[in-house]
Structure 1
């Protein structure tokens, strides 16, 4: 797959529009029936096909993140029905009428990005975007996409459907945000009255709600899960920074084991780790790089001079002797997170030291 999107046409007018779209919408591969060939398709990288478009759809479903079809809605529904697996893996599917007046989001509106793709394509074509997802139409929180653009991930998805129903049906909803970015509201209007925002579970304890949205980096207690996740969805913001120092050559396995054990001791979720921070002497440390690669974390490094700008309660002359800094894990964690205190100042175990901070969100 050279591009994330495929655009397919089967009519004369559709071919005209698909060629126009490809010229203005980056990342699109073009497919249309060979009987409409103009002779420049090979030069332009377009793909021609014979017979029914139904024959190429299974391959397109596997290869592309989004499929834009200049075909009638009814025909598309019949053709894609046997290909559907799950909204977590199905590609975005859009249909566009033969006059290019309407761009309709058909499949994977939220998780697959069809709704946003519909808006973008409609803008390019000067068409009307047709989106029927209730949360988009009402201008409220899309439960299955909440915080996604901020890097949040859903940790418990089982109750997404009933929680979504509560949100769009304007039932009492508790939104408990213990950490994470506060800029999650996307609309130019107040948060709906039926959604009450709390900063802790203690605040929400006496609130009578039908569903809950919980944004936290903590491992919830059994009582909290029973209370808030019986009909709730848990989101993990990228809110934790791990400051780390280690001996040269420390193995990935030792680093990973200590990280997981430390987070469990602190009752924190590994899914909320944003990055590892360390001294620039470790920018090529194989174990740290492997750990970051495994979990999708960034490795952020600082010079000794930068680390020494942080006042430490327990500066180490030994560390200074070898690195030029009076500490590594503690100051690196504070500098990277913007925090003014540690959740864990420093823990030394085997070949490494680790500090934990929470990102200072505005």
Structure 2
């Protein structure tokens, strides 16, 4: 199925509600028992099934991101228990009572998006959203989802459970943000007093804490990992832009090796790369496009005149002769990142030239 959600009903009242939900909640495939067939199901894309809903749940788990069940909570718990795998891969599961009064987030509230799905479905049905996740109820940082809407990725998830416990139990927590978007706090109230925010690991090192949330594009040193990640979670914001120039036909393997080696030398994480930037003459360069496809990066291009608006300390007449720009990687990195300075002005390696800049969040 191409839609992300499946909505399933097994009672007369549930069928009425699931049909309405399917018509008013985009991206939803509707399922109900064939004994409630009305004759318009094929036209409406509704799926009918025979026997117990338990028989189709394994397939629904594999096919959909979220499953909405008009079935009692207890029955749902028993049916899904044997097919659960892990919260990182299980779909969101939401349960609705037979009168449509309560929409309950049951499974994968954060990572699977069940809490968000619960709120949306409740709004459509005019029902009450029931969410029991502690961080949502308390209005604090959801450790397993922190920065996700900003594009941040979790780089160390092993300690997510004890760190979450520290956050919701109001233990001392150090939140170290060295880079990344500043608008991560989503509530109309101050950050809880037990969460102290620091601009660097150096400043946080002098303070006591029980758990840590680290937001950085750096590769932490071993002693930093020991101090902050023994009971901490590391997040990678998309804060780096790579400016690249290359000869026509440069292979993916050479480009990738150059990027990875350079980032390792700079002690920067490849997971924090937001995009590549280059001259528009390279917008169809196969190696660059393959590199972007492999890592999920966007390729941003600029015209020579746009690149020439950046004043370069080392303009190249040779590059200008062939491209019309006095530089490619250096100005492309600054234009795309909005930065005023480079982390790496320029590095020539084989058939490629690489510059690195950190995104400006001012």
SS of 2:124's partner is: helix
Q: Which residue of 1 aligns with 2:27?
A: 27
Q: Which residue of 2 aligns with 1:78?
A: 78
* C-alpha distance in structure 2 between counterparts of 1:347 and 1:33, whole Å: 64
Q: Does 1:90 align with 2:106?
A: no
Q: Which residue of 2 aligns with 1:279?
A: 279
Q: Does 1:54 align with 2:54?
A: yes
SS of 1:144's partner is: coil
* C-alpha distance in structure 2 between counterparts of 1:204 and 1:54, whole Å: 51
Q: Which residue of 1 aligns with 2:4?
A: 4
How far residue 20 of structure 1 moved from its aligned partner, in angstroms, is 0.5
SS of 1:143's partner is: coil
SS of 2:140's partner is: coil
Q: Which residue of 2 aligns with 1:201?
A: 201
Q: Which residue of 1 aligns with 2:102?
A: 102
Q: Does 1:252 align with 2:270?
A: no
* C-alpha distance in structure 2 between counterparts of 1:98 and 1:205, whole Å: 54
How far residue 202 of structure 1 moved from its aligned partner, in angstroms, is 1.1
Unaligned runs of 5+ in 1: none
SS of 1:6's partner is: strand
Deviations along 1:290-332, whole A, 9 cap, x unmatched? 0000000000000000000000000000000000000000000
Q: Which residue of 2 aligns with 1:312?
A: 312
Q: Does 1:41 align with 2:41?
A: yes
Q: Which residue of 2 aligns with 1:123?
A: 123
Give RMSD over aligned pairs: 0.3
Deviations along 1:19-50, whole A, 9 cap, x unmatched? 00011100000000001010000000000001
* C-alpha distance in structure 2 between counterparts of 1:22 and 1:50, whole Å: 20
Q: Which runs of 4+ in 1 moved over 4 A?
A: none
* C-alpha distance in structure 2 between counterparts of 1:58 and 1:296, whole Å: 30
SS of 2:144's partner is: helix
Q: Which residue of 1 aligns with 2:182?
A: 182
Query: Alignment length, in residue pairs?
Result: 362
Q: Which residue of 2 aligns with 1:295?
A: 295
* C-alpha distance in structure 1 between counterparts of 2:349 and 2:51, whole Å: 65
* C-alpha distance in structure 2 between counterparts of 1:39 and 1:81, whole Å: 34
* C-alpha distance in structure 1 between counterparts of 2:265 and 2:240, whole Å: 14
Deviations along 1:82-105, whole A, 9 cap, x unmatched? 010000000000000000000000
Question: Where does 1:254-269 land on structure 2 (aligned, <5 Å)?
Answer: 254-269=254-269
Which TM-score applies when normalising by structure 2?
1.00
* C-alpha distance in structure 1 between counterparts of 2:222 and 2:254, whole Å: 30
Deviations along 1:132-190, whole A, 9 cap, x unmatched? 00000000000000000000000000000000000000000000000000010010100
* C-alpha distance in structure 2 between counterparts of 1:162 and 1:2, whole Å: 37
Which TM-score applies when normalising by structure 1?
1.00
Q: Which residue of 2 aligns with 1:156?
A: 156
Q: Which residue of 2 aligns with 1:135?
A: 135
SS of 1:145's partner is: coil
How far residue 205 of structure 1 moved from its aligned partner, in angstroms, is 1.1
* C-alpha distance in structure 1 between counterparts of 2:220 and 2:49, whole Å: 54
* C-alpha distance in structure 2 between counterparts of 1:34 and 1:24, whole Å: 22
* C-alpha distance in structure 2 between counterparts of 1:348 and 1:148, whole Å: 35
